[in-house]
Amino acid sequence: MAFSFTLEAQDSATEARAGRFTTAHGEVLTPVFLPVGTAGSVKTLTPDDVRAAGARILLANTYHLSLRPGAETVRRLGGLHRFMGWDGAILTDSGGFQVMSLSPLRRVNDGGVEFRSHLDGSKHLLTPERAIEIQDALDTDIAMSLDQLVEVPSTPEEIRESVDRTLTWAARGLAARGRLREEGRGAMALFGINQGSADPAERRRCFQGLGPLPFDGFALGGLWVGEGRTLGIEMVEHDCRMFPKERPRYLMGVGHPVDVIESIARGIDLFDCVLPTRNARRGTVFTATGRLVVKNAAYAYDERPLDPDCDCYTCRTFTRAYMRHLFSVGELLAMRLASLHAVHHMLRLVQRARAAIVEGGFARFRTDVLERFRSGDTLAPTGP
């Protein structure tokens, strides 16, 4: 089934929008948060858990899967959906971000990125064409075009160069998918990634090249990498003004509840982030009223759930006292139960945002959610 995106509602007071897209693995309502299944599992959770939490689309990492078990292995085993037992949609990244953040040694030139695996030092070459081939082998529903990132801060020349390269690579990625389609493969959607760091002029120049290309959606790259929330949100606003209304907009790697709400208000449709689940595995979870460090000894007698506003299995079943105990003794169940809450919490947040947009009450919803998140209510420990 061909990828298609439909806008269903547009908030009148903000740029927030509700939509849906269809993939060969089902329909996805937007705004949406993608739990991250880095190496073919959303850490500690089963596909059933993730589906029960409301997820209909996951992100998987091309870098990790192409190193282990290898894209060809996944293809031979029937593709990533079958391999990991997930029948919903999958979006894969291009691998570029992980190459830059994880590989101990890499060299970028016009051809692509040569890098060494962070696992065994083996040498690999990631080109725009190879990124597409790998993602096709994984049988993804939505692939991302290989882009070039720059660090923060970077010089204007570095930013300019990365924009130029991102544009060349975008065209090469599309061409690669075109060739796959001639062979009856490459059915996946393909999103282009806008770059230009936190420089509005460069982001504009990048999108002038990217916008006319036949991408199925557009992503905002190079943000939330150290430039700060205010500047990040400004860039979101800036990019969303340029992006066409009729294509989905994906803010990569952003998952703090405040950032998600503020970015939805500016017109973002998709988010993914490891932050909520990574924090959860370390004993800290987002709740409706803020960040709860449940592993703290202060919660040893607190009989409330992690988040009294939440109806996930963890919050319906266990106390903070028990969760604190599990973290304190190093039980793996702690990470699993906290991760379940984390995924559920993010999905409920975007679902509620969507409902508010559809009902015309998003502005009020946004104020209420942000006020409550900043309130810290229910976070003070109870007990002796």
Report the candidate in 32, 24, 31 with the shortest Cα–Cα distance to residue 81.
24
Backbone dihedral region for residue 290 (phi beyond 0: left; psi -120 to 50: alpha; all else: beta): left
Query: What gap in Å lies between CA 143 and CA 134, rounded to an integer?
Result: 10
Residues 6 or more apart whose CB falls under 8 angstroms from that of 147 comprise 94, 96, 162, 166, 169, 170, 193, 195, 221, 222
Min CB(83)–its own copies separation in Å: 6
Is the Cβ–Cβ distance between 259 and 232 less than 8 Å? Answer: yes
In the complex with its own copies, the residue whose CB is nearer, 45 or 268, is 45
Min CB(68)–its own copies separation in Å: 5
238, two tokens: 């800036």
In the complex with its own copies, the residue whose CB is nearer, 22 or 328, is 328
65, two tokens: 């899967």
Min CB(329)–its own copies separation in Å: 5
Scan for tokens 């990470």, then name that residue: 335
In the complex with its own copies, the residue whose CB is nearer, 57 or 67, is 67
Report the candidate in 297, 293, 298 with the shortest Cα–Cα distance to residue 329.
297
Min CB(75)–its own copies separation in Å: 12
In the complex with its own copies, the residue whose CB is nearer, 173 or 283, is 283
The per-type count for the chain, helices as H runs and strands as E runs, is: 15, 16
Report the candidate in 145, 141, 174 with the shortest Cα–Cα distance to residue 25.
141
In the complex with its own copies, the residue whose CB is nearer, 39 or 358, is 39
In the complex with its own copies, the residue whose CB is nearer, 284 or 339, is 339
Min CB(278)–its own copies separation in Å: 13
325, two tokens: 């105990």
Residues 6 or more apart whose CB falls under 8 angstroms from that of 200 comprise 234, 235, 238
Min CB(348)–its own copies separation in Å: 20
Residues 6 or more apart whose CB falls under 8 angstroms from that of 330 comprise none
175, two tokens: 């061409």
292: which strand partners? 285
133, two tokens: 């081939």
In the complex with its own copies, the residue whose CB is nearer, 49 or 199, is 49
Report the candidate in 264, 272, 266 with the shortest Cα–Cα distance to residue 355.
264
Instruction: Tell me the catalytic residues.
Output: 93, 272
φ, ψ at 382 (rounded to 5°): -110, 170
Binding region for its own copies (CB under 8 A): 39-41, 43-48, 64, 68-69, 73, 76-77, 83-85, 300-301, 303, 313, 317-319, 321-322, 325-326, 328-329, 331-333, 335-337
Helix boundaries (H) for 226-331 = 229-242, 257-264, 275-281, 313-317, 320-329
